[in-house]
């Protein structure tokens, strides 16, 4: 049978690029690319294979077109996004929903026909005079049950270069799968750009997700979170795929934690942006499998997990040599790194909170910058953006885990959920069982909004499992899927809640930046039955003697009883208020939350009230019983 889409492509491409597409036996793929060319009208089309030459070409073109510029350290480049394009943009990121259908009202959505008409109108002719780059990538390890093939058409070689660092090359995977490739597709254009190659029509920025066809449309933006389709945009599609197929797609890191006898134990963790996610995954002495998106599958009663990505698109603010030595090292030695939205002075990069003296002038996301420069609203522009980033391949890190590309994934022993909770939850606690942990720490995750998302900062909000913005199925169904996933496991991972941002009455943090390593080491002991725990109304917390020893072993730091009581006092009133907010959210916003969630919340409320009646509003951890290991 003839393939009309392939015939159309033949008329629009040279022999080299046509041959690369013809070698993939997938008519749906050819239809997507042919439509993209018809719509965007590029001057030419370049198809990337998995060859070293093609990988190098995309980087060279990013430099030639000045979407990136070289820095002093070999392999390091700088890319700038526009003043109005510095983070994921909730307002213009929407699900396209067919008439008669609806998603949770917590999700930004619009009529599919209307949305397609709008975004395709903005993409019409958007690539005139430019090269359309066709990229084949994979989410998850290639040739694996975790693997999802993806294609992206873009007119940005910066986006293409970022794909090289952050994901697995997938051209050969598409050839292998052929017509069986059930892929995600992204179409992106930077739109009109200025002399700095920055998108200038931010008022026409649109990022629309058509979940009915597994396509993403992105236009008038360059910030990688809005343009690299395999990032959070594909996560929205993956969640629907996982829902259909009975596995989980999670906004989580994966790390290996070393313990007694030379063992290595794998943990996952969900944290909203700028809440300590990457710094936890990058703890010195441990290994990293991934820092952002993980897939979970139940295999022979075990929870197996794989990193969807192969690189890090990390927030660079507050990365210091002392607190983040492994990241600091890769950001200062030769090798491929793309910096974005930091300050450049004399070919050197500078960012906020880097712990060294920084220049008073240079070039940043606002253009030529000097200390005291103000924006159009009269606000002082910092030397770098709070959401400035670095992109680097995981294999460039000294602590990259050797199981990163294991097609079977790694077996999970523990899962942690953490947010910015200044008032209620203790720094570290363990769920009584799978259901309690998923509900009390995951579905109840409360945080303050940060600079990683455009909008007002410091506003408390529920961010369900740190994935709420990306869930393209009913939120209640997502919670139910997580609870039900535990029923497929004979060996369930322990579930922990962590909170690095608890404050005292004066507003000071009750624990230090590096203390998180102690909490992680305690979790490792717990999953191996090597530490007792104190049973409180909200979960199982560490015993003082274990923490005292761990602080000395891990951080060479003295840990006092006063520290322990301050950090692990149960704040009953604040926890009850939290329960009220969580329950209201699930009843009013989620609407279809499973009844088992409310049963878990009710049990926690009853335990808190009973403890309050016996001990008062603020209860020392020494008042509660110790359980055996």
Which string of DSSP letters, residue by residue, matches 334-389?
SS-EEEES-EEETTEEE-TT-SS---SEEEETTEEEETT-B-TTSPBPPSS-TT-E
For residue 458, what pLDDT is reported?
57
Q: Are 519 and 428 spatial neighbours (Cβ–Cβ below 8 Å)? A: yes
Q: Tell me the C-alpha distance between 115 and 509, whole Å.
A: 45
Q: Is the dihedral of CA 96, 100, 101, 107 positive or negative?
A: positive
Is residue 17 scored above 70 in pLDDT?
yes
Two structure tokens written together for 504: 């005292």
Average pLDDT over residues 337-342: 97
306: how many CB neighbours lie within 10 A of its CB? 28
Answer yes or no: is pLDDT of 455 > 70.
no
Q: What is residue 461's predicted lDDT score, i.e. its pLDDT? A: 85
- Tokens coding 133: 């780059």
What is the reported pLDDT for 501? 93
Q: Annotated catalytic, 153?
A: no
CA atoms within 13 A on the CB side of 369: 27
Task: Supply the pTM of this predicted model.
Answer: 0.92
pLDDT at 502 over 90: yes
CA–CA separation, 75 vs 73, rounded Å?
6
629 pLDDT band (50/70/90 cuts)?
confident
pLDDT higher than 60, residue 613: yes
- Residue 276 confidence (pLDDT) above 60: yes
pLDDT band at 457 (very low <50, low <70, confident <90, very high): low
> Which residue, 93, 61, 35, 131, is CA-closest to 227?
93
Instruction: Return the minimum-mean-pLDDT range out of 101-115, 404-418, 542-556.
Output: 101-115
Q: How confident is the model at residue 470 (pLDDT cuts 50, 70, 90)?
A: confident
Q: What percent of the chain has pLDDT over 70?
A: 98
The 3-state DSSP class for residue 525 equals helix
pLDDT confidence of residue 199: 92
Q: How far apart are CA 198 and CA 187, in angstroms?
A: 18
The model's pLDDT over 185-233, given as tens digits with 9 standing for 90+, comes to 999 999 999 999 999 999 999 999 999 999 999 999 999 888 998 888 8
Of the residues 40, 153, 275, 428, only one is catalytic, namely: 275
Stretch 438-465: mean pLDDT: 76
Q: How confident is the model at residue 452 (pLDDT cuts 50, 70, 90)?
A: very low
Binned at pLDDT 50, 70 and 90, residue 456 comes out as low
- Read off the DSSP letter of residue 85: -
Phi, psi of 418 (to 5 degrees): -145, 140
- Give the model's pLDDT for residue 188: 98
Please check whether residue 1 is in contact with residue 179, taking contact to mean a CB–CB distance below 8 angstroms.
no
Per-residue confidence band for 454, with pLDDT thresholds at 50, 70 and 90: very low
Q: Which domains does the chain have, with CATH numbers?
A: 4-62+88-246 (3.40.449.10), 249-309+409-622 (3.90.228.20)
């Amino acid at each position: 049978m003839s393939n009309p889409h392939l015939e159309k492509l033949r008329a629009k491409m040279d022999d080299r690029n046509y041959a690369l597409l013809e070698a993939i036996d997938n008519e749906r793929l050819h239809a997507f690319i042919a439509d993209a060319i018809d719509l965007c009208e590029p001057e030419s089309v370049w198809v990337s294979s998995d060859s070293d030459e093609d990988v190098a070409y995309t980087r060279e073109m990013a430099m030639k077109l000045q979407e990136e510029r070289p820095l002093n350290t070999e392999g390091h480049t700088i890319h700038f996004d526009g003043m109005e394009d510095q983070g994921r943009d909730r307002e213009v990121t929407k699900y396209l929903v067919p008439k008669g259908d609806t998603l949770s009202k917590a999700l930004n959505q619009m009529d599919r026909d209307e949305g397609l008409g709008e975004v395709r109108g903005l993409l019409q002719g958007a690539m005139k005079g430019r090269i359309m780059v066709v990229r084949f990538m994979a989410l998850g390890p290639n040739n694996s049950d975790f693997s999802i093939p993806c294609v992206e058409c873009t007119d940005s070689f910066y986006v293409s270069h970022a794909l090289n660092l952050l994901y697995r090359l997938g051209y050969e995977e598409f050839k292998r799968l052929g017509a069986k490739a059930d892929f995600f597709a992204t179409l992106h254009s930077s739109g009109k750009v200025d002399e700095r190659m920055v998108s200038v029509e931010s008022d026409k920025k649109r990022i629309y997700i058509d979940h009915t066809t597994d396509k993403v449309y992105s236009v008038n933006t360059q910030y990688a979170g809005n343009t690299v389709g395999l990032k959070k945009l594909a996560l929205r599609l993956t969640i629907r795929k996982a829902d259909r197929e009975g596995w989980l797609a999670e906004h989580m890191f994966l790390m290996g934690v070393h313990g007694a006898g030379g063992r290595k134990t794998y943990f996952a963790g969900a944290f909203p942006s700028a809440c300590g996610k990457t710094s936890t995954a990058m703890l010195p002495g441990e290994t990293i499998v991934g820092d952002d998106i993980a897939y979970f599958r139940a295999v022979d009663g075990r929870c197996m997990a794989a990193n969807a990505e192969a690189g890090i698109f990390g927030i660079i603010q507050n990365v210091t040599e002392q607190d983040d030595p492994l990241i600091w090292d890769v950001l200062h030695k030769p090798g491929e790194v793309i910096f974005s939205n930091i300050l450049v002075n004399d070919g050197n990069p500078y960012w906020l909170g880097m712990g060294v003296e920084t220049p008073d002038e240079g070039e940043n996301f606002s253009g030529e910058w000097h200390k005291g420069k103000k924006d159009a609203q009269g606000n002082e522009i910092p030397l770098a953006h709070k959401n400035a980033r670095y992109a680097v391949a995981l294999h460039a890190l000294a602590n990259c885990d050797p199981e990163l590309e294991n097609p079977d994934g790694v077996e999970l022993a523990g899962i942690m959920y953490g947010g910015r909770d200044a008032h209620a939850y203790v720094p570290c606690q363990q769920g009584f069982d799978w259901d309690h942990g998923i509900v009390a720490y995951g579905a109840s995750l409360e945080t303050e909004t940060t600079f990683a998302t455009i909008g007002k900062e410091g506003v408390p909000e529920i961010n369900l499992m740190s994935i709420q913005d990306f869930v393209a199925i009913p939120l209640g169904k997502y919670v139910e899927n997580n609870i039900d996933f535990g029923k497929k496991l004979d060996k369930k991972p322990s579930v922990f809640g962590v909170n690095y941002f608890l404050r005292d009455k004066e507003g000071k943090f009750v624990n230090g930046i590096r203390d998180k390593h102690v909490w992680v080491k305690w979790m490792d002991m717990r999953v191996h039955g090597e530490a007792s725990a104190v049973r409180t109304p909200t979960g199982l917390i560490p015993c003082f003697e274990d923490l005292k020893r761990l602080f000395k072993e891990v951080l060479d730091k003295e840990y006092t009883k006063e520290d322990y009581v301050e950090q692990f006092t149960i704040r009953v009133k604040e926890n009850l208020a939290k329960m009220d907010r969580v329950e209201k959210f699930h009843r009013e916003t989620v609407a279809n939350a499973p009844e088992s969630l409310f049963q878990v919340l009710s049990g926690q409320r009853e335990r808190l009230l009973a403890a309050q009646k016996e001990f008062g509003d603020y209860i020392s951890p020494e008042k509660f019983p110790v359980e055996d290991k």
